[in-house]
Amino acid sequence: QVFLGLTKTGELIAVKQVDLIETEVEETEKEYTKIFQEVTLLKSLVHDNIVKYLGSTYEHHTVSIFTEFIPGGSLATIIERFGPLELPVTARYTRQLLNAIAYMHENGVVHRDIKSANIMLVPNGTVKLIDFGCAKRLALRLSRSGSHLQKSLRGTPYWMAPEVVNDSGHGRKSDIWSLGCTVFELVTGKPPWGDREPFAAMYAIGSDDFPVPTLPESFRIRVRDFVSQCMMR
Protein backbone atom coordinates (compact mmCIF):
# COMPACT_ATOMS: atom_id res chain seq x y z
CA GLN A 1 0.00 0.00 0.00
CA VAL A 2 1.13 3.55 -0.70
CA PHE A 3 0.30 6.46 1.58
CA LEU A 4 0.87 10.20 1.65
CA GLY A 5 3.10 11.18 4.57
CA LEU A 6 3.96 14.42 6.34
CA THR A 7 7.42 14.85 7.85
CA LYS A 8 8.25 16.72 11.05
CA THR A 9 9.69 19.49 8.90
CA GLY A 10 6.38 19.88 7.03
CA GLU A 11 7.29 18.14 3.75
CA LEU A 12 4.97 15.76 1.89
CA ILE A 13 6.47 12.36 1.08
CA ALA A 14 5.25 9.03 -0.31
CA VAL A 15 5.27 6.01 2.02
CA LYS A 16 5.16 2.53 0.51
CA GLN A 17 4.38 -0.18 3.08
CA VAL A 18 4.89 -3.93 2.78
CA ASP A 19 3.58 -6.36 5.41
CA LEU A 20 5.91 -9.28 6.08
CA ILE A 21 5.00 -12.66 7.54
CA GLU A 22 4.87 -12.48 11.33
CA THR A 23 5.31 -16.19 12.07
CA GLU A 24 8.60 -16.64 10.22
CA VAL A 25 10.80 -14.24 12.18
CA GLU A 26 14.15 -15.28 10.67
CA GLU A 27 12.84 -15.13 7.11
CA THR A 28 11.21 -11.78 7.83
CA GLU A 29 14.49 -10.34 9.11
CA LYS A 30 16.34 -11.65 6.05
CA GLU A 31 13.72 -10.11 3.78
CA TYR A 32 14.02 -6.75 5.49
CA THR A 33 17.81 -6.92 5.21
CA LYS A 34 17.41 -7.32 1.44
CA ILE A 35 14.98 -4.42 1.25
CA PHE A 36 17.21 -2.22 3.43
CA GLN A 37 20.22 -2.97 1.22
CA GLU A 38 18.17 -2.13 -1.85
CA VAL A 39 16.92 1.18 -0.44
CA THR A 40 20.47 2.05 0.62
CA LEU A 41 21.52 1.44 -2.98
CA LEU A 42 18.67 3.52 -4.37
CA LYS A 43 19.50 6.42 -2.04
CA SER A 44 22.81 6.66 -3.89
CA LEU A 45 21.01 7.33 -7.20
CA VAL A 46 20.70 11.09 -7.59
CA HIS A 47 19.18 12.14 -10.92
CA ASP A 48 16.52 14.60 -12.04
CA ASN A 49 14.53 11.81 -13.71
CA ILE A 50 14.66 9.24 -10.90
CA VAL A 51 12.49 9.45 -7.78
CA LYS A 52 14.50 10.29 -4.69
CA TYR A 53 14.59 7.56 -2.03
CA LEU A 54 14.80 8.81 1.53
CA GLY A 55 15.10 5.67 3.64
CA SER A 56 13.17 2.82 5.25
CA THR A 57 12.00 1.49 8.62
CA TYR A 58 10.85 -1.88 9.96
CA GLU A 59 8.24 -1.85 12.73
CA HIS A 60 5.65 -4.44 13.76
CA HIS A 61 6.45 -6.67 10.77
CA THR A 62 5.79 -3.78 8.36
CA VAL A 63 8.45 -2.30 6.11
CA SER A 64 7.96 1.38 5.23
CA ILE A 65 9.91 2.85 2.32
CA PHE A 66 10.02 6.64 2.11
CA THR A 67 10.37 8.47 -1.19
CA GLU A 68 9.92 11.86 -2.76
CA PHE A 69 6.23 12.65 -3.38
CA ILE A 70 5.31 13.44 -6.99
CA PRO A 71 1.83 14.97 -7.37
CA GLY A 72 1.30 14.77 -11.14
CA GLY A 73 0.26 11.12 -11.52
CA SER A 74 1.76 8.43 -13.75
CA LEU A 75 1.98 8.40 -17.55
CA ALA A 76 -0.52 5.50 -17.44
CA THR A 77 -3.11 7.83 -15.89
CA ILE A 78 -2.18 10.54 -18.40
CA ILE A 79 -2.90 8.13 -21.29
CA GLU A 80 -6.21 7.14 -19.69
CA ARG A 81 -7.21 10.79 -19.35
CA PHE A 82 -5.89 12.26 -22.61
CA GLY A 83 -5.45 9.24 -24.91
CA PRO A 84 -2.30 8.49 -26.98
CA LEU A 85 0.29 11.24 -26.73
CA GLU A 86 1.49 13.51 -29.53
CA LEU A 87 4.97 12.73 -30.87
CA PRO A 88 6.67 15.91 -29.56
CA VAL A 89 5.39 15.12 -26.05
CA THR A 90 6.46 11.48 -26.33
CA ALA A 91 9.89 12.58 -27.56
CA ARG A 92 10.30 14.91 -24.58
CA TYR A 93 9.44 12.17 -22.10
CA THR A 94 11.55 9.54 -23.90
CA ARG A 95 14.66 11.73 -23.89
CA GLN A 96 14.35 12.12 -20.13
CA LEU A 97 13.83 8.38 -19.65
CA LEU A 98 16.93 7.63 -21.73
CA ASN A 99 18.95 9.97 -19.52
CA ALA A 100 17.68 8.15 -16.41
CA ILE A 101 18.33 4.70 -17.86
CA ALA A 102 21.85 5.63 -18.98
CA TYR A 103 22.61 6.93 -15.49
CA MET A 104 21.25 3.77 -13.83
CA HIS A 105 23.16 1.45 -16.14
CA GLU A 106 26.39 3.38 -15.66
CA ASN A 107 25.93 2.77 -11.93
CA GLY A 108 25.32 -0.96 -12.36
CA VAL A 109 21.57 -0.87 -11.72
CA VAL A 110 18.75 -2.28 -13.86
CA HIS A 111 15.17 -1.19 -13.20
CA ARG A 112 13.48 -4.35 -14.61
CA ASP A 113 9.94 -2.95 -14.63
CA ILE A 114 9.87 0.10 -16.90
CA LYS A 115 6.32 0.94 -18.03
CA SER A 116 4.04 3.97 -18.08
CA ALA A 117 2.61 3.15 -14.63
CA ASN A 118 6.12 3.44 -13.16
CA ILE A 119 6.84 6.82 -14.72
CA MET A 120 5.54 9.82 -12.80
CA LEU A 121 4.87 13.19 -14.38
CA VAL A 122 5.72 16.42 -12.57
CA PRO A 123 3.38 19.30 -13.59
CA ASN A 124 6.28 21.11 -15.33
CA GLY A 125 6.75 18.24 -17.81
CA THR A 126 9.58 16.43 -16.00
CA VAL A 127 9.20 12.64 -15.74
CA LYS A 128 10.67 10.46 -13.00
CA LEU A 129 11.14 6.69 -12.84
CA ILE A 130 9.65 5.16 -9.69
CA ASP A 131 9.13 1.72 -8.12
CA PHE A 132 12.56 0.16 -8.04
CA GLY A 133 11.11 -2.82 -6.19
CA CYS A 134 12.75 -4.99 -8.84
CA ALA A 135 16.06 -3.11 -8.99
CA LYS A 136 19.20 -4.96 -7.99
CA ARG A 137 22.92 -4.55 -8.39
CA LEU A 138 23.80 -6.45 -11.53
CA ALA A 139 25.46 -9.80 -10.87
CA LEU A 140 29.24 -9.60 -10.88
CA ARG A 141 29.70 -12.65 -13.05
CA LEU A 142 29.79 -12.22 -16.81
CA SER A 143 27.72 -14.14 -19.32
CA ARG A 144 29.14 -15.47 -22.59
CA SER A 145 28.07 -12.24 -24.29
CA GLY A 146 29.84 -10.14 -21.67
CA SER A 147 26.66 -8.81 -20.03
CA HIS A 148 25.95 -8.89 -16.30
CA LEU A 149 22.85 -10.96 -15.76
CA GLN A 150 20.08 -11.56 -13.30
CA LYS A 151 18.05 -14.73 -13.71
CA SER A 152 14.96 -14.02 -11.64
CA LEU A 153 11.61 -13.45 -13.34
CA ARG A 154 10.55 -9.88 -12.61
CA GLY A 155 8.55 -7.18 -14.33
CA THR A 156 5.09 -6.91 -15.90
CA PRO A 157 4.07 -9.21 -18.82
CA TYR A 158 3.36 -6.75 -21.64
CA TRP A 159 6.64 -4.89 -21.10
CA MET A 160 8.85 -7.92 -20.41
CA ALA A 161 11.81 -8.66 -22.65
CA PRO A 162 12.00 -12.16 -24.22
CA GLU A 163 15.01 -13.12 -22.09
CA VAL A 164 13.02 -12.21 -18.97
CA VAL A 165 10.03 -14.30 -20.03
CA ASN A 166 12.28 -17.26 -20.93
CA ASP A 167 14.34 -16.86 -17.74
CA SER A 168 17.53 -17.05 -19.79
CA GLY A 169 19.26 -14.27 -17.88
CA HIS A 170 18.88 -10.55 -18.51
CA GLY A 171 20.61 -7.25 -17.95
CA ARG A 172 20.71 -3.74 -19.33
CA LYS A 173 19.22 -4.70 -22.69
CA SER A 174 16.01 -5.80 -20.97
CA ASP A 175 15.40 -2.21 -19.85
CA ILE A 176 15.83 -1.04 -23.45
CA TRP A 177 13.18 -3.52 -24.65
CA SER A 178 10.80 -2.26 -21.96
CA LEU A 179 11.51 1.33 -23.00
CA GLY A 180 10.51 0.43 -26.58
CA CYS A 181 7.27 -1.12 -25.29
CA THR A 182 6.61 2.03 -23.26
CA VAL A 183 7.10 4.34 -26.26
CA PHE A 184 4.78 2.03 -28.25
CA GLU A 185 2.25 2.40 -25.43
CA LEU A 186 2.57 6.20 -25.23
CA VAL A 187 1.87 6.78 -28.93
CA THR A 188 -0.82 4.10 -29.45
CA GLY A 189 -2.51 3.97 -26.05
CA LYS A 190 -1.65 0.34 -25.30
CA PRO A 191 1.51 -1.78 -25.09
CA PRO A 192 2.57 -4.36 -27.70
CA TRP A 193 0.43 -7.51 -27.50
CA GLY A 194 -1.97 -5.45 -25.39
CA ASP A 195 -4.98 -7.15 -26.99
CA ARG A 196 -3.91 -10.54 -25.56
CA GLU A 197 -4.36 -12.00 -22.10
CA PRO A 198 -1.18 -11.65 -19.97
CA PHE A 199 -0.06 -15.28 -20.26
CA ALA A 200 -0.80 -15.35 -23.98
CA ALA A 201 1.25 -12.17 -24.32
CA MET A 202 4.15 -13.75 -22.41
CA TYR A 203 4.05 -16.78 -24.71
CA ALA A 204 4.11 -14.56 -27.80
CA ILE A 205 6.96 -12.43 -26.43
CA GLY A 206 9.12 -15.44 -25.61
CA SER A 207 8.51 -17.36 -28.84
CA ASP A 208 10.31 -16.74 -32.13
CA ASP A 209 7.15 -17.99 -33.87
CA PHE A 210 5.49 -14.63 -33.18
CA PRO A 211 6.84 -11.52 -34.92
CA VAL A 212 7.56 -8.51 -32.73
CA PRO A 213 4.78 -5.91 -33.14
CA THR A 214 5.70 -2.76 -35.03
CA LEU A 215 4.06 0.64 -35.11
CA PRO A 216 1.61 1.28 -37.98
CA GLU A 217 3.02 2.90 -41.11
CA SER A 218 1.04 6.05 -40.31
CA PHE A 219 3.83 6.90 -37.84
CA ARG A 220 7.02 8.57 -38.99
CA ILE A 221 9.80 6.21 -40.06
CA ARG A 222 12.10 7.53 -37.31
CA VAL A 223 9.57 6.67 -34.62
CA ARG A 224 8.92 3.21 -36.03
CA ASP A 225 12.66 2.59 -36.37
CA PHE A 226 13.34 3.74 -32.79
CA VAL A 227 10.80 1.30 -31.35
CA SER A 228 12.02 -1.54 -33.59
CA GLN A 229 15.65 -0.92 -32.54
CA CYS A 230 14.62 -1.13 -28.88
CA MET A 231 12.48 -4.25 -29.32
CA MET A 232 15.00 -6.65 -30.84
CA ARG A 233 15.01 -10.25 -29.66
Q: What is the CATH classification number for the domain harbouring 100?
A: 1.10.510.10
113 is catalytic: yes
Amino acid at 18: V
**pTM above 0.85?**
no
Q: Do residues 48 and 126 lie in contact, with contact meaning Cβ atoms separated by under 8 Å?
A: yes
Q: Which residues constitute the domain of residue 63?
A: 2-68
The pLDDT profile of the chain, 233 residues, written as one tens digit per residue, is: 889 999 999 999 999 887 776 666 677 677 777 777 777 888 888 999 999 989 888 888 788 889 999 988 899 999 999 999 999 999 999 999 999 999 999 988 888 889 999 999 999 999 999 887 554 433 322 233 444 445 444 457 888 888 888 777 778 899 999 999 999 999 999 999 998 888 888 889 888 899 999 999 999 999 999 999 999 98
Classify the C-alpha dihedral 187-88-161-156 as positive or negative: negative
Give Cα separations from 71 to 13, 48, 108, 114 (angstroms). Answer: 10, 15, 29, 19
Do 90 and 46 have their domain in common?
A: no
Do 175 and 99 have their domain in common?
A: yes
Instruction: Quote the number of domains for the chain.
Output: 2
Do 120 and 187 have their domain in common?
A: yes
Q: Which of 48, 113, 131, 225 is catalytic?
A: 113
Q: What is the CATH classification number for the domain harbouring 64?
A: 3.30.200.20
Do 225 and 117 have their domain in common?
A: yes
Do 34 and 51 have their domain in common?
A: yes
